[in-house]
Structure 1
Amino acid sequence: MKHPLTAALQGMACLLLVALQQPALALENAVTTPLKVLVRSEDAKFIGSKVGGLQVQVRDLASGRILAHGPLQGGTGDTAALMQEPQLRGRSATVGAPASFDAELALEQPTRVEISVTGPLGVEQSVQETALSLWLLPGEDRAQRPVILHMSGLIVDLVDYRVSAAGLAVTTQVTMLCGCPLDRDGLWPVSDFAVELQVLQDGERVAQQTLEFTGVENEFSGAVQLPGSGDFILQVTASQHSTGNAGVFQQPLRVSPAAQQ
């Protein structure tokens, strides 16, 4: 006759063995499900390596389990297909192997997932997040028919600034979220954008000035008079009239009396 403790230990061992075998059984029943994720900048091209790429995460909404994650890298895609040719139903704009995140998921059953994206990672103050949820079916190829997310916004970055007796002079760069260029006569004409320099102190706007296109791709500059010395926030805002795309750059600015002499 078995000792009660021995029987209990054997029972626990059996339960542990069954638990350890579950992933293997699940893996045997799982079906490889290809997935490709792309992210397009509103009114522009695909976001990728040019602006530091994006981080992608695919999560099972029922269990919370992370099914896949990693960087999204690559090019911005075919300009003509994305920006110049008619966008007809059933026509793919993903020609030219644009930036993507590729994964092969092991799915046993229809699974509702959340795909979340963070970036672009190359310019800290332009990083955004977006996500969508959808059903994925085991074996259903979502690489040939990829999932495309969209991000709104503009990248605004400071090139240079100088403080002198004449005031604060600033040069900034503004691009679409994919890094696509702003120019006088390009696909993204500077006439469609407003760029403004603002100086804040204690939460109040103490100076502002429209920044003008310099003639150099993406570049805007201008200057303002400062009300005196002290601690300020240098803020540059940019907006696109036709879409509402917007971006902001902010930086603390300490001005000493000596800097204004």
Structure 2
Amino acid sequence: MITIKFYRFFSALILIFCAINLNAQETEVMIRAKAKDAKFIGSSIGGAKIIIREALTGEILAQGLTTGSTGNTDKIMKQDWKRGEDLAEESTAGYKATLNLKEPVFVTIEAIAPVNKKQARAISSTQLWLIPGKHITGDGIVLEVPGFVIDILSPQTHNSFKESEEITISANIVMMCGCPVEKDGLWGANQYEVKAVLKDARGEQTMLTLDQKNTASYFEGKTSLAKGLYELMVYAYDPVSGNTGVEKTNIIIN
């Protein structure tokens, strides 16, 4: 008797489960992260972390990394954009989520990028309704991520120098998609303001302009300092787009 009741109960659960699944519809959503004034964020710089959440509860519905190329440079950066035409191509970086939806759901979509560059990482997000069976493909949902990726190459963290010794301050600076910055390039170093700011323990600042040298994305300047502990900040600023980026470290002058 117990076995029969259990069998009937179990069968009923299966029928309910199947009915629920029959009502759910597969829904594809393409999400891309695009660097401000540059290209798509993809495999070459580690990608963007994409998270789709149910907006009200915060439940994660899907997550993953954008993978693929940064896209077609001419189409993205040089040609006029036309309404209805995709910027992305088949190989262009993106993350495609496949959701099983039973009813429309209001979601928050976040792009955290570049995911492997903690000092430059930024979050871009949007909210929208997803409707069962209504795919969002092509360019999909494009989230713009502002910033520059700045890596201070020298001095290294906690390096010490003698008072009045010449110090070389250098940094590697690229767009958030990893695209290079160089003189007379598509992302022109001569357009950007790149400076090092050295702040001592009293809060007094010394500023130094860093110039792009022979290697793409490499910026350098030289200075000397009085004895003390210093915070070193390197920033990049584009007065045309308003794009900014910062990296910090600390050094010692004996």
What band does the TM-score fall into relative to the shorter chain?
Answer: 0.7 to 0.9
**Change over 3 Å in CA distance of 1:160–1:145 after alignment to 2:** closer
Contact 2:87–2:139 (Cα < 8 Å) also in 1: no
Q: From the superposition, tell whether residues 177 and 205 of structure 1 become closer, same or farther in structure 2 (CA, over 3 Å).
A: farther
Deviation at residue 124 of structure 1 after TM alignment: 1.8
Q: Which has the larger radius of gyration?
A: 1
- Per the TM alignment, residue 204 of structure 1 is displaced from its structure 2 partner at its CA by 1.4
Query: What SS does the aligned partner of 1:130 have?
Result: strand
Unmatched tracts of structure 2, length 5 or more: none
Alpha-carbon distance change, 18 to 62 in structure 1, aligned in 2, over 3 angstroms: farther
What is aligned with 1:228?
227
SS of 2:119 mapped into structure 1: helix
* Residue matched to 2:107: 113
> 1:109 and 1:70 mapped to 2: Cα distance?
23
Which aligned pairs between 1:160-171 and structure 2 lie closer than 5 A?
160-161=154-155, 163-164=161-162, 165-171=164-170
- Number of aligned residue pairs: 244
3-state SS of the aligned residue for 1:204? coil
Q: Deviations 1:158-179 (Å, cap 9, x if unpaired)?
A: 1222745433311111111111
For 1:214, the aligned partner's letter is K
Structure 2 distance, partners of 1:37, 1:235, is 33
| 1:122 alignment partner, SS class | coil
Look up the match of 1:237. Answer: 235
Change (3 A) 1:124 1:220: same
Residues 1-261 of structure 1 aligned to structure 2 (within 5 Å): 24-144=18-138, 146-161=140-155, 163-164=161-162, 165-202=164-201, 204-229=203-228, 231-255=229-253, 257=254
Deviation digits for residues 48-96 of structure 1 (CA, Å, limit 9, x no counterpart): 1222211111011134321101122221000011011111111111125
Q: Is the 8 A contact 1:81 1:95 kept in 2?
A: no
Deviations 1:118-137 (A, max 9, x none): 12023220011111001111
Q: Residues 155 and 23 of structure 1: is their aligned pair in 2 closer, same or farther, counting only changes over 3 Å?
A: farther
What is the TM-score of this pair, normalised by structure 2?
A: 0.87
Deviations 1:82-122 (A, max 9, x none): 01111111111112521111111101111111101112023
Return closer, same or farther for 1:21/1:187 CA change in 2, 3 Å cut-off: same
Give me the whole-angstrom Cα distance separating, in 2, the residues matched to 1:239 and 1:151: 15
Residues 168 and 205 (structure 1), Cα distance of their counterparts in 2 relative to 1, 3 Å cut: farther
Which amino acid in structure 1 is aligned with residue 210 of structure 2?
Answer: L
Q: Is the 8 A contact 2:104 2:130 kept in 1?
A: yes
TM-superposed deviation, 1:143: 2.2
> 1:5 corresponds to which residue?
none
Q: Distance in 1 between matches of 2:202 and 2:178?
A: 31
One-letter code aligned to 2:208: Q
The alignment's TM-score, normalised by the length of structure 1, stands at 0.85
Q: Check conservation: 1:194, 1:238, Cα contact below 8 A.
A: yes
RMSD (Å), alpha carbons = 2.4
Q: Which ranges in structure 1 are unaligned for 5 or more consecutive residues?
A: 1-9
Give 1:202 deviation, angstroms: 3.1
Cα distance in 2 between the residues matched to 1:122 and 1:166: 34
Residue 203 of structure 1 and its aligned partner are, at CA, apart by: 6.5
Match of 1:27, SS? helix
1-side partners of 2:248 and 2:226: how far apart? 19
Closer, same or farther: CA 23–208 of 1 in aligned 2, 3 Å: farther
Distance in 1, Cα, partners of 2:233 & 2:133: 49
